Structure 1
Amino acid sequence: MSAVAGISYTRPKAGIGVVRSVGAGLLILLGGFAIAGPLVIPSDPAAQDLSASLAPIGGDYLLGADHYGRSLLARLAHGARLSFGMAFLTMLAAAIPGVLLGLCAAWKGGRTERFLELVATIVLALPGLMLVLLFLAFSPGNYGPLFLGLSLTLWVEFYRVTKATTKTVLAQPHIEAARMLGFNSRYILIHYVLPVIGQMIATLSAFAMATAIIAVSTLSAISVGLQPPTPELGGMIVELLPYYAEAPVHVLLPAALIFLLVLGLQLLAPGDRA
């Protein structure tokens, strides 16, 4: 609790609940698998052994092998790293400009705000998937266009939430009191604005990462995203789908990993949960 000129202002509650703790623990385990897995698993995710095609779980292959005899454990580890890494970088590339532009629009208003709103409206006029596909059309199957398209799709949400929340905070009486007492914009931003928008940005960041993971997997599944033999989780599902009757667990493994990654991010998103 802080007070300016007799006006009290309560910052958002800190702490982490049980649900978020479960989400954090799940992400730590999956993150450890994604980071350490490719380093400690000796198998090359692209190495083929046709004699081990669709090898069952256990034996020489802990989680079995795909139809080309490639280790599913190695491919899942590399796929998790790819999904986690791309989602994190996409979130940063969307959150940083989105938050900064939102603060700028709320602080300056006028022509600056109107121009940024126009840009955001233009971006929203295109469906998110269509925008990503437009970039992929120039260089299909590459990381750059996919990353850039997702970032440009997601930044608008960060921008609008930051702008709306900041404008609400700046309109409060205690902000006017702080200005009358001589506190500069930097002090107001750090002590009054950021504590309010921080939790919202953290929530949006978790959702943005989950959206990016699903989008990358979906685009690979429809053959317009990352292409084989890249060990991408969505692509792995499609590659193994024709062999579902023979090895159903092999198909479910990458799907389960996508589910757990998204679940962990959704549980970690801050909120008033126990």
Structure 2
Amino acid sequence: MSSMTHMATPLPAARHSWSWGLPVLMAVLLLGLLSVWLGQNPAHQNLSNTLTAPGPAHWLGTDHLGRDLMARLGEAIRVSLWLALGSAFLAVTLGTLLGLCAAWRRGLTDRLLCLCADGVAAIPGLLWVLLVAALAPGQKWALYSGLVLTAWVEFFRLVRSQALATLAGDGVQAGRLLGFGAPYLLRWYVLPPMVGDLLRLWSYAIANAVLAVAALGFVGVGLRPPTAELGLMMTEALPYYDAAPWLLAAPVVVLVLVVSALQSATRQALKDSV
């Protein structure tokens, strides 16, 4: 009887979280990198070999100018993701700095920054990107500027709201009484609790930037030929979707996979943090 009462209870099973988003995203990135060696020159034209179906010579076929589709798809992945990663990084940096400034200074500075953020958010984000990119069509700095202009607001609002709550806490008040300055308090008290939320919001900003870059290329305001970009590749493939459906299928599938993978990885991170 005593042995039964002292029987060890089974330990709870370890929680294993898995998301298909990260492996798929890594596979797409690997395709973008390996295409530099496996594919051909993405700008090389061969008019005697146009609209070739996928085969050993061209793994994903060729386009209407005889360019290797795998090489162009790899370049499009690299260009789109670098634009998205760079703009999202600049947006999180700008939004975090302005959010901390508004929460720390309060008063007129806070009101002006909030008014600026509300003004930017009042206009749809894609329209902002279109307006800025139209000033210098085909220039990467214009795309960066438009994407950052639309993305910093979300980071600003998140950082400001959390920083206001943290700055009102006992720890920060005690640090101020002890004579610690703003850099120390912001570094050790305010920023650490919001790092996880900033990373998750950053991944959503990357997905939105990928879609925005593709949309700009699709309407002809983004990057210009012969640069390969997912939206631009879709526009070039539309007249040939019946004779060569692989031209349109390749960039569409990659775009869907990248955005879905980013969102899946972010949702899994949110579940694990609960």
After superposition, residues 9-158 of structure 1 pair within 5 angstroms as 17-19=17-19, 22-38=20-36, 40-158=37-155
Task: Tell me which amino acid in the other structure corresponds to 2:29.
Answer: G
CA distance in 2, matches of 1:141, 1:57: 30
Q: 2:217 aligns with which of 196, 205, 220?
A: 220
TM-score, normalising length from structure 1? 0.86
TM-score, normalising length from structure 2? 0.86
Q: Deviations over 1:216-246 (max 9, x none)?
A: 1011111121122221111111211222222
Report the counterpart of residue 271 of structure 1 in structure 2: 270
Q: Deviations over 1:130-166 (max 9, x none)?
A: 2222222322122121211111111111111110111
Q: Deviations over 1:188-226 (max 9, x none)?
A: 333332221101110111011111110010111111211
Shift of 1:179: 4.4
Q: 2:205 aligns with which of 204, 208, 217?
A: 208
Shift of 1:58: 1.1
Gaps of 5+ in 1: 1-14
- Classify the secondary structure of the residue corresponding to 1:18: coil
1:190 pairs with 2:187: yes
Contact 2:49-2:66 within 8 A present in 1 as well:
yes
CA distance in 2, matches of 1:247, 1:50: 15
Change (3 A) 1:138 1:181: closer
Detail structure 1 runs of 4+ shifted over 6 Å in the superposition: none
Report the counterpart of residue 5 of structure 1 in structure 2: none
Q: Deviations over 1:26-78 (max 9, x none)?
A: 2222223223432x135111111122211111131011111111100000000
Change (3 A) 1:30 1:223: same
Change (3 A) 1:128 1:240: same
Gaps of 5+ in 2: 1-14
Task: Tell me which amino acid in the other structure corresponds to 2:248.
Answer: V
Report the counterpart of residue 12 of structure 1 in structure 2: none
Task: Tell me which amino acid in the other structure corresponds to 1:244.
Answer: Y
Q: Deviations over 1:82-139 (max 9, x none)?
A: 0010001111111111101101111121111112112212222332222222222322
Contact 2:234-2:248 within 8 A present in 1 as well:
yes
Larger Cα Rg: Structure 1 or Structure 2?
2
- RMSD after superposition: 2.1
Report the counterpart of residue 3 of structure 1 in structure 2: none
CA distance in 1, matches of 2:153, 2:102: 13
CA distance in 2, matches of 1:130, 1:26: 30
- Classify the secondary structure of the residue corresponding to 2:135: coil
Equivalent pairs, count? 257
Task: Tell me which amino acid in the other structure corresponds to 2:22.
Answer: A
CA distance in 2, matches of 1:119, 1:51: 55
